[in-house]
Chains A and B, each alone.
Chain A
Amino acid sequence: MFVAEVSASLVLLHLALFFPAATPQPSDLVSEFMCPCPDRCGKALEVCECSDAAGYIQELMDLRSRGLSREAVREKFVEKYGPSVLASPPAKGFGLVVYLLPPLAVLGGAVLAVGVARRWKRRPVGAPKVTDADLKRAEEAMKKWRS
């Protein structure tokens, strides 16, 4: 146990010493956008290999270097390329569904599981029907085990 925790600590120490707190990277901004190329490739901009991708990234960087805030860059891009350029759907109107439904589904599943388990706890479940064949198999198993 001690060895495991010491090893884990060494790895963490390594991370702490050599890779100190991540600073915002250019890709942090890029990761907020999808590639808006005319082919509608549907790929995240930072992953996209299409010939236009580098141009869009440069456009983002130019807007940023002109002193525009993140929000302003987003607005400019949406204005120019439409809402599908954003990597996350807008958290309003129907777009809110995608943020709310998954956590609600997990919560609902958990409540359902607890509810069903509680019902099981209250209601003794009938013992399974034991057939003659089951008894015979059990006797044979017992004999085998004793021998």
Chain B
Amino acid sequence: MKFTYLGEWAMRFDLVIATLGLLGGVWGLWKKDGRFLEFQRRSLMLSCGLVLAATVTLVGAFFLHDFSIRYVANYSSLNLPMGYCLTALWAGQEGSQLFWLFVLAAFSAAYLWVHRRDRSDIHFHATATVLLLIQHFFLAIVNFASDPYVRLDPPPADGNGLNPLLQHPAMAIHPPMLYVGFVGMAVPFACAMGALLTGRLDEGWIKKCRSWTIFAWTVLGVGILLGGRWAYDELGWGGYWGWDPVENSSFIPWLTATAFLHSVMIQERRGMLKIWNMSLITITFLLTIFGTYMTRSGVVASVHSFARQPMLGGMFLVFLGSCAAFATGLIVWRYGALRSERRIESFLSREAVFLFNNVILLGLAFAILFGTCFPTMYEMVKGTRISVGPQFFNRVTIPLFLILLVLTGVGPAISWRKATGSNLARNFLTPAAGAALSVGILWAGGVRHPKAAMGIGCIVFVLSCLILEFYRDTAARRRSTGEAFFPAMGRLIGKNRRRYGGYIVHVGVAVTALGIVASSAYQVEKQLELQPGQSARVERFRLEMVDLTDGVLPNAKTVRLRLNVFNENRPMGELVAEKRLYEKTEQPHTETGVMARFFYDLYVVLAGWSGDGTAMIHVYVNPLVSWVWLGGGILLMGAVVCLWPK
């Protein structure tokens, strides 16, 4: 279809525009010439528009089944439901790169618009130059190495179809959220580099990039949780996090961004850790590029490896190295201006706790990164391949997560500069008692799982610290204003959104952690073989098989298992689990049956069946899984409070 040439030409022309704009920007910054800087701004705007045109055209080609475009033919088919024509955009390598570029262009345009009043500020233009530089790299990729507009002549009558794993509603939200989270980190990185380029190293750049960082961090965090939800529903193994290399590569920058969000507070309040903050945001950005490299190069095998293209690896590595060298060079150049203005007065202070929180977060990021890359390193050194699976990651990261949890409670409650003994006793004695009480309750109840008991103790400690903070601050406001409790709390949060929004985020993290601990330590699994009319017990639940039937969907054949579920003898409803065989890909695919309740999920997988109608069923009882998603919702709410405009 002819209109698709519009998108292709837009993509080609954009490379020219971006190159000219970049040259103009560099010249303008060097010569401090406003005309060239304005030219760069307009070029960036135009470039964003052209990327939009290229992306919309490709999506249009999916909806119109234009199989003359190879990418459309490879990742869709005539019987693909219309809703998945959009998700097909990021199903393969070329479209993913174009989508990355599209998100970056959207961020660049948003940056230009949000800070439009700073056009006389050279930092604004330096940031735009860095954004344009990153955009230029991705434009080069889609034009030279991973072209989504390659044509087929003659076009096939039908396409190859979409990977069945991607045919899930969460896949319409999860990948874009990860992309937005990843790409969003480019803005704070560009702000930091802009500050280094222009020498504007006061707190201005931090204030400017704060909201962008919180936004990207939140979206990335929620995207990771959505990925967990997708794995839980689609992969059929009863869990949501498998320490898959690609999952890891999205989690690692989230950890370093968390460290950055905490350490910038020390710079704002105390004028310290300036070099550290520059380094942290650089590392975070580089890790987002590294994550994209891991996903795209095929260097690691993964449940997410939909789109491998080893030749791209080299380009990513060169870009990664160039960015690292560029940032390091700038930090060394400005070293003198980045010295701390104050010193740490005591190790019992909020800044010291934040510093240790940074050490633990970076330690976690390193452990996960090292574990993810170790099989490749081992193969290079020893010549044989080994695996680093979930067992290793659990063993190495759980102690660090426990320390981090405790710091999540301590950080908000301890004083800046120096905490006294009475401050510590006042803030931490009750939470510590609550934690001890909770471990005692578990022990008395016969639950003797040491790691889970420690985890739950830490979580109760964190929640108690945070609730105590809210309670005391609200009580203080009530005393001074005479307001009722909840209006006082609402106004308290409204008056200092960043602080209390942060506390809400911490509550969300603790609730998610509780869900993770409970569902990992207390999961019950049973394998059953049932015939219609037969029933079996799993813990306090009775499952009665209704039938096993064949069915047909527009693009797949299905075998559907129906079960009646009883809690003791009380009916709870019907559970349906399926196996699907997609026509185009001929891949078997599991659709789990999940009965979600507030305190547990009953999770059923149809593992197989035999000719006489016997169904092989895996049943899991997963306690508090809903709390993992609930915690994500609370985290999102906290972030919205932080970001809410004044």
Please give the residue numbers on chain A whose beta carbons come within 8 Å of chain B beta carbons, in ascending order.
Answer: 1, 4-5, 8-9, 11-23, 25-27, 31-32, 34, 40-44, 46-47, 49, 51, 54, 82-90, 93-95, 97-99, 101-103, 105-106, 109-110, 113-114, 117, 120-121, 123-128
Contacts and interface: CB of A to CB of B under 8 A. Distances in A.
B145 to A, nearest CB: 24
A44 to B, nearest CB: 5
A19 B623 contact: yes
Contacts of A42: 245, 300-302, 387
B341 interface: yes
B611 interface: no
A19 B382 CA distance: 45
Interface in B587-646: 588-590, 599-600, 607-608, 621, 623-624
Interface of B: 235-239, 242-245, 271, 300-303, 339-345, 347, 352, 355-356, 358-360, 362-363, 366-367, 370-371, 374-375, 378, 381-382, 384-392, 395-396, 400, 430, 434, 437-438, 441-442, 444-449, 456, 459-460, 463-464, 467-468, 471, 514, 518, 521-525, 527, 539-540, 588-590, 599-600, 607-608, 621, 623-624
Contact of A13 (B235, B347, B384, B441): B441
Contacts, number: 218
B387 A86 contact: yes
20 contacts: A12-B438, A12-B445, A18-B599, A20-B446, A22-B449, A23-B524, A27-B238, A42-B300, A43-B242, A54-B607, A83-B385, A88-B391, A89-B387, A98-B371, A98-B374, A99-B396, A102-B366, A105-B363, A120-B344, A124-B343
Contact of B390 (A11, A17, A44, A84): A44
Contacts of A54: 607-608
Nearest to B588: A51
A86 B392 CA distance: 10
A49 B592 CA distance: 13
Most chain B beta-carbon neighbours within 10 Å: one of A5, A16, A93? A5
Given A98-B371, A113-B356, A125-B339, 12 more contacts: A4-B467, A9-B437, A15-B522, A21-B446, A25-B523, A44-B242, A47-B239, A89-B386, A113-B359, A117-B355, A124-B343, A128-B271
Contacts of A125: 339-343
Contacts of A18: 539-540, 599-600, 623
Given A22-B523, A87-B387, A12 B359 contact: no
A17 B391 contact: no
Contact of A102 (B367, B525, B624): B367
B460 A94 contact: no
A21 to B, nearest CB: 6
A83 B464 contact: no
Contacts of B434: 4-5, 8
A112 to B, nearest CB: 8
A123 to B, nearest CB: 7
Contact of B590 (A15, A49, A89, A103): A49
A123 B343 contact: yes
A16 B442 contact: yes
Contact of A94 (B378, B590, B600): B378
A54 B378 CA distance: 28
Lowest 9 A-B CB distances belong to which pairs?
A16-B445, A42-B301, A87-B389, A106-B363, A102-B367, A120-B343, A19-B522, A4-B467, A34-B387
B367 A105 contact: yes
A9 B237 CA distance: 30
A114 to B, nearest CB: 8
B500 to A, nearest CB: 16
B441 A12 contact: yes
Given A15-B442, A49-B236, A124-B343, A5 B388 contact: no
A16 B446 contact: yes
Nearest to B608: A54
B393 to A, nearest CB: 9
A15 B438 CA distance: 11
Contacts of B245: 42
A138 to B, nearest CB: 13
A85 B387 contact: yes
Contacts of A105: 363, 366-367, 370
A83 B47 CA distance: 50
B384 A84 contact: yes
A124 to B, nearest CB: 7
A84 B389 CA distance: 10
B389 A34 contact: yes
B529 to A, nearest CB: 13
B363 A102 contact: yes
Contacts of B352: 117
B235 A16 contact: no
A134 to B, nearest CB: 9
Contact of A89 (B302, B374, B518, B608): B374
